[in-house]
Every structure is written in C-alpha cells, then in structure tokens.
Structure 1
Amino acid sequence: MTSSRTGRGEGDPGSRTDPARESRPVPPVDSSQVPRFAGFATFARLPRLDQVERADVAVVGVPFDAGVSYRPGARFGPAAVREASRLLRPYHPGLDVSPFEAAQVADAGDIAVNPFDIGAAIETLQADAEALSAGGTKLVTVGGDHTIALPLLRAAAKKHGPVALLHFDAHLDTWDTYFGEPYTHGTPFRRAVEEGILDTSALCHVGTRGPLYGKADLDDDQKLGFGIITSADVLRRGIDETIDALRQRIGNRPLYVSVDIDVLDPAHAPGTGTPEAGGMTSRELLEILRGLRTCDLVGADVVELAPAYDHAEITAIAASHVAYDLVSLLCLR
C-alpha cells in the first residue's frame, strides 16, 4: 500500500484499522487533503486495482491506434482522460448515486497491446479483458481507436452470450474492409455481427451523420440488423423520445455501450481522428446515457480521443464525464 505522501490521503486502505470498515469500498483520494493536481493520475483519483482486494468495476486503458484511417493519436487517449478526470467528484446528482461508495471501483491501468500488429493486439486485448472480468468485474475501457470494440465484445459475449449494442458514433463502423484490411476502426461491428456475438434484434447506432460512400452503406448496415438514430433525429425528437426508442429496442437484454467521442460535434470534441460537423452536444449525450439506468449494462468503452488535436482539453473533459457516467450506471446494477 502507498502512503499519504504518494497521494492516497484518507483513501489509503492501509491506514484503516476498524474491521467494520474493511468491507467498504476503498474511495478516491480526498481532494480536501491532497490537491487535485497532485498524486498519481488514476481515473477519478481512484485506487489502483492492485490496491484493492477485488473490483466490481474497473476502468482500463488501451493505448492503441493502429486501426485508424485518418488522424492518429488515440494511443494517448487513456492518459488524457485520466488527467481530465481529476476534477470528477464522488456524488453523481443526475443519477442520485455515489458510485464509489455503492461499489468498489478501481483503475486497472493500461492493457499493453502490439502497436504494429492489429491481429496480435486484438488477441491480447480479448485475453486480458476476459482475465480482468473473470471474477465478475465489469469493465469501462478507455481507448484507443474503435478497433478495440471487437475484442471487448468477444469477451462480453463469452460471458453473457450475444449482447445488445448501443453504438454512439458519427460513423457506422460496419464497413467490410479498408485497403483490403478486415480489422480497422471502421469495421468492428460488421465483424461482431458475422461472429454472432451481437444480438441482432437489439442493435442501434446513435448520433450518426455526414457523407457516406454510397446508399449501399445504409442498406448493408440495415441487413446486419442495426437501427439508426441520427444526430438530427436526436435534435428533432428530443432526449426523452430518443431514450424511449432505445429502451424499447434493447429491452432487458445484456447491453454493451460503445461511445466514439466523435459522436459529439467538433465544437464539443475537437480532439478526435475523424470529426464530422452537425454532431450531438455533450449535454445530449450524457442525458441519453443517464436514461439507460434501468438497462442491464454489462460493459462499455469510450474511444477515439486524440489529444494532439484537443485544445483546452475540451474532448478529454467530455470523455472523462462520459466514462464517469458509464461507471456510475454500472455501479447502480
């Protein structure tokens, strides 16, 4: 265990002697004792996974961007989200939950994957995700590019069977290949449908927009089983109607949520690899996520933050709050 000198503050599990407290979750660092800008940069200043006996929810990074098709840099996303998360506080008024008291949440560090071999990276990530979740721990994964969604879905399906999917993104990510390659950040959900790890009666893209290669993209996507709620639909229908439509499509199935931060308009998320105009606001995205509180969420990811293009940490701040909401939803289960 670490001492208060290293930034653990009142959250140091080694300082507790009351047996009645031993079963309580180890909390984040107390910002009234250790300034937010000091100490280790774990997500929301949570304890590391090796500092707790077990975790109900683990936040894990995947610094990988070998699957991108335009601007690189998402390999630095996990570190940027951790830094931006220093300002997160332990009570979530929108969900009326103190997630770090309701469950043990920990930062599991980064999964180190091969940056030169996409196939090897996918295999490593799947194996490590399965190992991390073997004891019942639920994962919120911070990427990294969207290629990582495929092995994470494989791990989730191995445990729960084919899962429902809500995919928040400017893009469909159901293309077949890119330059002949079947595993990229634009192909994970086609591969997932082909592998039978998604429940094709409960799939939906949210926030899509922008030009496509042709109408066949939409036709192919529909054949795979996806519904679509575009960013314009969210604007016209409003938050409540959007949430109702998503709940009806998901039902009570085990749900995986994948959030590409480019679902947000570049005004709210400039730091991403393939920005598209006309996106959702961060407020809309967070409110829709909070509307999923009654769903059976089993895992989630937040991907495609590229800090090099992120002036004033706007995108990292948004991504850290998205991850916090996903963690909070898992702590409600």
Structure 2
Amino acid sequence: MSSLWRNLTRSTAAFSPFCAGAKLSSLQLRQALVHDRETSVFSVNFSRKYSEKRFNVPPSAEFVARVSGIPTMAKLPFQESTDGLDAAFVGVPIDTGTSNRPGARFGPRQMRVESAMLRAYNSGTRAAPYESLMVADIGDVNVNLYDLKDTCKRITEAYRKIVATGCIPLTMGGDHTISYPILQAVAEKYGPVGLVHVDAHADTSDVVLGEKIGHGTPFRRCVEDGLLDCKRVVQIGLRGSGYSADAYEWNRAQGFRVVQAEDCWFKSLAPLMAEVRTQLGNGPVYLSFDIDALDPGFAPGTGTPEIAGLTPIQGLEIIRGCHGLNLVGCDVVEVSPPYDTTGNTALTGANLLFEMLCVLPKVKHY
C-alpha cells in the first residue's frame, strides 16, 4: 500500500482513472481515497454538486491486478441489499426457459469474470458513472432450477424489493424469460413502461410446447398483463426464419415499432435512436438486450443464434442512443458461456452493461 501512496505523491496524473477531469493535489487525493485493505476495494469522497455522499469506485488495474479478488461486476463492492444504492448489478442465473442450447445460467458468473477489464470512465462518451451514482453488485436472485414458474415468482419478489428503494436494476441473465417477472415488479412501481428491446427474436410467442412461460414468450405475457405502454415499444434487430410469412404481424398490431435486422444493415443506427427517443418521450423505459441480437460472428456464446445480425458498434449506438431516456431498468440476457470458447461473448455482455450504466439518468458527463 505504501507504493500506492508514493505513486499518488509523484503525480495526480498517475491516478487519472479515479480523478479524470479533476485537479487535485496529492494530499487531496489521499483524503478522497478510501481503501479497504482486505478487499482491495476503493471508494472516493469526491464532493458533488447534488450529493455529498461517498461513491463506490472500481479499483484501477494500475494498482490492483485484474486477476485478483473475488469476481463482482466491474470489481465493485458486494452488498446484500440495495440500501443507499442508485443502481445495482444483479444476476438471475437461469436457463430453464431455453428452447435450444442451455448454459445461460452461467452467464452472470462469466460476465462478472470478464468485467475485470472494465475501467471507471467511458472514453467514448466521457461518462463518469462512479462520480454520479452509488453502485454495487448485490449478487444473484435465489432461483429454483427445477421449477420455472416458481423462479418467476422469486424474481418478481426480489425485484419488488430492489425497485422499492428507487434503485435501478442492471440485470445479468439468464435466459430471456426473466424479463417478464422483472417487468412485473417494475410496472408495479412505475406503471406501464416503454421498452427498447434489442433481439434477434420477437419473444412474443403465445404457447410453446404447451407452455406459456419461456424465453420465447415474455413480451406477449407483458402485453397481456398490461405491463407495457405498447405505443412506446421498439424492437430492433429481429431476423431469421419464422413460423409464418409475417412473423411480426402480432407485434405491429399491438403498436410496437419493429425494426428488422435487414433495416439495420450497412448503416449507423444513430438516426434511428433519435426517432426512438422522440417516440418514447419522458416516461419510464426498460431496456432489454438479448446478446443474440448481435451477429454470432461477434457473439457466438448464446442459445439461439441467427446469422446476419447487428454489429457491436450498432449495439453501442442503440444503448448510447438511450441517453436522455428515463431508464428504470436494464438487462443483458442469453449469454451462454459453454458456447463462448474465447470469453468474448461474456466480455461483450459486460461492456453492454457498463454502457447501460453510463446512460442512466443523472450520470455525469465531462
């Protein structure tokens, strides 16, 4: 630890991951930085115009090895509840609702491992989430791997507690079934919400193999339960073969805007997102990103891959295009580590979650 203080004394530039944009003396840095010697977790006492509270900050790889410590999302502190948190990373490790490849139950764990690459600032947008929000990893929902309907009840109960405190959940799936029980809790607090749904599949099937609950049905159930403001729903990246000539007729009939993958080929999605922001307005919005929205050449580790999908650049354009929306919850789902031989799919998922954190309301931008 003494070597850390020597580095801080030599130059504030050496500590740029914690104080980018701030001109602080070495003494001020010492006073601002709080280090837990047992966990190597840092928190910072920077003063904010709208808050005087201390914020959790991921430890910088300049001083703490990425491979050290117990994996949490972005190496943030773990806490069991959302008390005092503005946003929280939470895992829902199930794949009981999948129809093809299993493995998404391991998605939250692997995204946490790969998130060790994340740093404190967004170099592309100059967002400083850890100077703006109190964020922690609150662990996983205690799911029932033998009973999907019971798992859905457990998820709803857990998210009621999360959103009751005003905390914004950033969820690591898990298969896409989880969005339905999460939105049950979210809509109980905020009323029907708008939805930005990024996916290869519409997930609006009615019954699959005799079951109404699964990863192909969540948004049909959400409409039936009145959880969505259907005029404020956009689905982006839909593609693949279908069970009818117009696989998205039901969605359009509900008022959804459907943007098929073919409409995204060879172009920036920034203009689309400008239209989406106008459509969704100031009301509460939920953002759900199925990793299979990306082309499997970029993200092969998923349960139901479809060719000719979005690029990671377009994925970032969509999430960054949500800046200014009243986001009340987000998820990244369907990361399946057994089919992710390089870890790049989980790494992409972790980065998408960080980008979601960066576009939440009240996040400071330099």
Structure 1 distance, partners of 2:229, 2:82, is 34
* Closer/same/farther in 2, CA of residues 215 and 128 from structure 1, 3 Å limit: same
Query: Of the candidates 85, 88, 94, which is equivalent to residue 55 of structure 1?
Result: 85
1:166-197 deviations in whole A, cap 9, x for unaligned?
11000010000110100000000000000001
SS at match of 1:193: helix
Name the residue aligned to 1:4.
37
In structure 2, what is the equivalent of residue 89 of structure 1?
119
The structure 2 residue matched to 1:183, chosen from 213, 222, 245, is 213
Q: For 1:261-316, what per-residue CA distance to the aligned partner results, in whole angstroms no more than 9, with x for missing partners?
A: 00000011000000000000111101221011111111111000000000211101
Q: Are 2:192 and 1:159 aligned?
A: no
What SS does the corresponding residue of 2:257 show, helix, strand or coil? Answer: strand
What's the TM-score, normalizing by structure 1? 0.93
Change (3 A) 1:313 1:147: same
Tell me which amino acid in the other structure corresponds to 1:139: P
Paired amino acid for 2:156: Q
Q: Which residue of 1 aligns with 2:69?
A: 39
Distance 2:168 2:65 in 1: 29
Q: 1:282 to 1:237 in 2, by over 3 A?
A: closer
Post-superposition offset of 1:225: 2.4
For the residues of structure 1 that align with 2:317 and 2:250, how far apart are their CA atoms? 30
Is the CA contact (8 Å cut-off) linking 1:97 and 1:332 kept in structure 2?
A: no
**Superimposed CA distance per residue, residues 90-142 of structure 1 (whole angstroms, 9 cap, x where no aligned partner):** 01122322111111110010111111111100000000011122111110111
Percent of residue pairs identical = 40
After superposing the two structures, state which structure 1 stretch, 125-134 or 257-266, moved more. 125-134
Residue 216 of structure 1: CA displacement?
5.0
User: Which position in structure 1 is the counterpart of 2:339?
Assistant: 309
CA drift of 1:330 comes to 1.6
- Does the 8 Å CA contact 2:83/2:165 hold for their aligned counterparts? no
Matches within 5 A, 1:19-34: 23-34=53-64
1-side partners of 2:101 and 2:247: how far apart?
22
Instruction: Tell me which structure has the larger Cα radius of gyration.
Output: 2
What one-letter code is carried by the residue in structure 2 that aligns with 1:45? Answer: K
Specify the SS of the correspondent of 1:204: strand
In 2, Cα distance between the equivalents of 1:271 and 1:331?
A: 31
- Out of 300, 304, 314, which is 1:274 matched to? 304
Q: Greater helix share, 1 or 2?
A: 1
Matched residues, number: 326
Question: Aligned match of 2:317 in 287, 311, 328?
Answer: 287
Query: Structure 1 residue 207: deviation in Å?
Result: 0.6
Q: Give runs of ≥4 in structure 1 deviating > 4 Å.
A: 50-53
Give 5+ residue unaligned stretches, structure 1: none
- Normalized against structure 2, the TM-score is what? 0.85
User: Distance in 2 between the 1:160 and 1:236 partners?
Assistant: 37
Q: Does 1:330 align with 2:363?
A: no
Q: Provide the C-alpha distance between the structure 2 equivalents of 1:216 and 1:299, rounded to a whole number of angstroms.
A: 30
- The equivalent residue for 1:321 is 351
**Which residue identity does 1:76 align to in structure 2?**
F
**Deviations along 1:241-268, whole A, 9 cap, x unmatched?**
2112212321222110000000000011
CA distance in 2, matches of 1:137, 1:123: 20
2:201 is aligned, of 143, 155, 171, to: 171
Q: Which runs of 5+ in 2 are unaligned?
A: 1-33
Matches within 5 A, 1:61-76: 61-76=91-106
Asked whether 1:136 is paired with 2:166, we answer: yes
Paired with 2:148 and 2:200, the residues of 1 have a C-alpha distance of 23
Distance in 2, Cα, partners of 1:202 & 1:145: 24
Contact (CA 8 Å) 1:99, 1:331: kept in 2 or not?
no
Do residues 126 (structure 1) and 159 (structure 2) align? no
Give the Cα separation in 2 of the matches to 1:246 and 1:183. Answer: 29
Question: Greater shift after overlay, 257-266 or 242-251?
Answer: 242-251
